[in-house]
Amino acid sequence: DQQVKQNSPSLSVQEGRISILNCDYTNSMFDYFLWYKKYPAEGPTFLISISSIKDKNEDGRFTVFLNKSAKHLSLHIVPSQPGDSAVYFCAASNGGKSGGTSYGKLTFGQGTILTVHP
Amino acid sequence: DSGVTQTPKHLITATGQRVTLRCSPRSGDLSVYWYQQSLDQGLQFLIQYYNGEERAKGNILERFSAQQFPDLHSELNLSSLELGDSALYFCASSRVGELFFGEGSRLTVL
């Protein structure tokens, strides 16, 4: 039972353009969503997060949008840079940002390989 | 550098064997999480420890066990290994906020 799905295994984008990575979830109890970036031979690193009480969160070139009714979130990277090339994982939890025993018990999607061409 | 240290980075062993993966969390972090990433899969939550006590459990096999020691480092023990246990095993720690992951231990079972 895949509760978090990233349906696009890969995405190729030209430098300077927008990258849009998508994620769908099925568990309506999820209340906190995160994006992680992973380079080869490294562990995932936190990128940006959003609480279910918001529909948008911005951090520099990265913006996450949450559509609760559609159980869908997306990560926008503008402008895309070659250094952004990595695997991006969407993750969700029902423990909020810092409370509850469920925090840290993240459910991850399968990942999307983003390639940004110079 | 996330501050989370995992050893060994690579491990090759045979079916039926037992291995131990070690994790040192970031200084001051009380929680340790273990995740498994199999080929072409997302990370699967295995187990969480908080200050020495088991806090949450995911789909961890009975052949797997973990513990967190008084110095807060954690070990994941995998026994009676099968080919399907070949995967990347990540440890993460947190205080408040996002998880910080180690570089992972790649286990290959032949």
Instruction: Tell me the pLDDT tens digit for each residue of B35-78.
Output: 999 987 789 999 999 999 998 899 899 999 999 999 999 999 99
A-chain residues near B94 (CB < 8 A): 103-104
The pLDDT assigned to A99 comes to 45
Query: How many angstroms separate the CA atoms of B54 and A54, rounded?
Result: 32
> What percentage of chain A carries pLDDT values higher than 70?
91
Higher pLDDT, A104 or A102: A104
Residue A103 has pLDDT above 80, yes or no: no
Q: Which residues, 6 or more positions from B20, have their beta carbon under 8 angstroms from its beta carbon?
A: B75, B76, B77, B78
Average pLDDT, chain A: 91
Q: What is the pLDDT of residue B96?
A: 67
Instruction: Quote the pLDDT of residue A101.
Output: 44
CB of B39 within 8 Å of any CB in chain A? Answer: no
Q: What is the pLDDT of residues A18-70, one digit of tens each?
A: 999 999 999 999 989 999 999 988 999 999 999 999 999 999 999 999 999 99
Best mutation site among A46, A49, A50, A87 for testing chain B: the one with the most B CBs within 10 Å? A46
B94 interface with A at CB cutoff 8 Å: yes
